[in-house]
A = this chain, B = another copy of it.
C-alpha cells in the first residue's frame, strides 16, 4: 500500500504527516520541536539586537531525520511503501549556505555570528532596508511592486539580504547562496539546489515571466547587489507542487526510506492549505484563520489587486495565478480582548462554568441579533494590510453606549474582521476575480461557530471548513502524491490529488437571509468608515500614532 509524507516546518516545531494518497487519511503524525527554538534575546549567551528572531538550521536537518524515521517506524509500514515527499515551511525564513548547501552557522568562524543563522519570518530587524527597497521601487516605477500592493515587508528575503550585506559584508561575500528554509530542506533531500515559485514569488519578488527585478533595481539598492541573483540565488525557479528531484542515496539512508522517490518543490506553510481543502480552481477563496488571516484565491489571469500581499503564477497551484491577501489582526484582536480587557465578571463566570472566556463571550454574544449591539468597529488594531497597506492605521469602535457590554465589543471585533474580509473580496471582484465560495481552515474555523456564521452572513456566501487539523502538512502530502504518478499509487496532477485527498467538514455555514440584510446596512457604515479613515483622512490616525510615538520617546520631559 502506497503512502506519502508531508513535512511541515513551523515556527517552533516541525510536523510530519503520513498520508494515504487514496483518500487523504492521516495514518500517523510526529511533531518534533527544534532543540534551539527561536533565538530572540541571545545567541550563545550573547545578547541580540532588537527585533531579531533567529533559528539554527542544524535543527531542521536533525528533526527532519528523526521525524521521518519515527513517523515511518511507528506506523509500522514498510519504508518502501513511501512513494513521495512534500515539504512546506514558514517564509520568508532564510539562511546563508556554503557550496555544499550547509549553513554558514556550522562553520567555526561563524558560530557566534547572528548573520550566519536562519533569519526567521518574524525577524523584523531589516525594517529600514524594507522601507528603502519599497520606496526605491516606487521611485523607479518598477512594475513588480504593483504585484505586492506597493509594499515590501521586513519579513521578505531581499531586505534580509540587504541587512546582512550592510552589517557583515565579509559574511555576505562568503555565502555561496541565500536560501529559503523550504528550499533548503528540498535541496538537501534531492542533493542539489532547488527553488520553489511559491517562496520566490511571494517572498523574493520573482515573476514567472519577468524573473527577479532588474540588475538596475538591485544596483540602486546597493552597487554590490547588482548581480545578487546570479551570485547568491540563481535564476532557476520551479512551480510549486511539481517535482524538484529525487531522494538521494545518502538522504534515503538517513531517513530510512528508499532512494529515488520524488520530492516536491516547497510550499509556504499557508499556501499548501489550498489543495488540502480540495481547492485547485478559480472562484474559491481560502481563508487561513489565525492570529492574522491569509486569503488565497486562484485565477487564470494576472490582475493587479490593491493592497495584495502578492500574485504569483505557479505560486499555489501549478499553471494558475495564486493571489494572496492578508488581514493583520483577526485572532489577535480576540486574544487582546481576552488577555487585556477580560472583565472580572466574565472571568469568574467562565471559571465557574468550566469553559474558556472565549467560549463564554461567544455564548453571550451568539444569542444577540446582528446589529443589536449598535456597534461597528474598524479591525485595524494591528494596522491594515489589505487593501490599504497602511500599518499606521489603528482600530476603532463606534456606537458605544452606557449599555454596551463586553460581549457586544467582542462580537463587534469579530464582525469588523468579517467586514475587512468582505472589503478584500469586493476588491478581488472589482478586479475581475470571481469569488463564489469561501473556505476556511485554522483554529478559529473549528472553535467558533459564531465567527464562521458571521463571516457567512457578512459576505453572503456559504463557508466550507477544512476537516484536517493539519491542513498545511496535508497540502504538502497532496503535492507529494501529485508528483508520485498514478502508476505508482499517486496521481498525475495536483487537481486529481487534491480532489481525492482534500477534506472538508460536513457542516457548511450558510448565510441567513435576514442577517445578510442587516449586515449589508452595517457593512455600508463600515465601508464609509474604512474609506474615511483609511483613504480620505488617514492623517487623523497617523497623527495619533505620531503623537503616541513621539510622546512616548519624550515621556521623561513630561
Contact = CB atoms under 8 A, between A and B. Distances in A.
Interface string A533-554: 1000100110111011001101
Interface in A501-543: 512, 514-515, 518, 521-522, 525, 528-529, 532-533, 537, 540-541, 543
A349 to B, nearest CB: 11
A370 B551 contact: yes
A396 B375 CA distance: 9
B518 A551 contact: yes
24 contacts: A333-B402, A336-B402, A340-B343, A340-B405, A343-B343, A344-B346, A369-B554, A370-B558, A371-B547, A372-B552, A374-B394, A374-B544, A374-B547, A376-B544, A382-B401, A394-B401, A395-B401, A395-B404, A396-B396, A399-B541, A399-B548, A518-B547, A518-B551, A532-B532
Nearest to A537: B528
Interface string A377-420: 00001100000000000111111111011100000000000000
Contacts of A374: 394, 544-545, 547-548
Nearest to A515: B558
A305 to B, nearest CB: 26
A416 to B, nearest CB: 10
Interface string A270-282: 0000000000000
Contacts of A344: 342-344, 346-348
B551 A525 contact: no
Given A370-B551, A376-B544, A394-B399, 11 more contacts: A342-B343, A374-B394, A374-B544, A382-B402, A395-B400, A397-B397, A398-B544, A514-B558, A522-B544, A529-B540, A532-B532
A402 B376 contact: no
Given A398-B394, A400-B381, A372 B521 contact: no
What 10 A-B pairs come out closest when comparing CB atoms?
A395-B400, A374-B548, A344-B347, A371-B547, A396-B398, A369-B558, A369-B551, A399-B544, A371-B551, A394-B399
A555 interface: yes
A332 interface: yes
Q: Copies of this chain, how many? A: 2
Contact of A341 (B329, B373, B398, B406): B406
A139 interface: no
B401 A381 contact: yes
A454 to B, nearest CB: 13
Contacts of A400: 381, 394-397
A50 interface: no
A210 interface: no
Interface string A323-345: 00000010011001000111110
Contact of A406 (B340, B371, B394): B340
A557 interface: yes
B547 A521 contact: yes
A374 B540 CA distance: 11
A519 to B, nearest CB: 10
Interface string A204-246: 0000000000000000000000000000000000000000000
Contacts of A521: 543, 547
Contacts of A522: 544, 547
Contacts of A401: 381-382, 394-395
Contacts of A332: 402
Given A399-B396, A540-B528, A558-B515, A404 B340 contact: yes
Q: Which of A341, A518, A532 has the most CB of B within 10 A?
A: A341
Nearest to A332: B402
A376 B532 CA distance: 16
A310 B528 CA distance: 36
Contacts of A555: 368-369, 372
Contacts of A406: 340-341
A495 to B, nearest CB: 39
A158 to B, nearest CB: 27
A210 B364 CA distance: 55
Nearest to A377: B400
Nearest to A346: B344
Contacts of A369: 551-552, 554-555, 558
A348 B528 CA distance: 40
A259 to B, nearest CB: 48
Contacts of A394: 374, 398-401
B336 A548 contact: no
A290 to B, nearest CB: 14
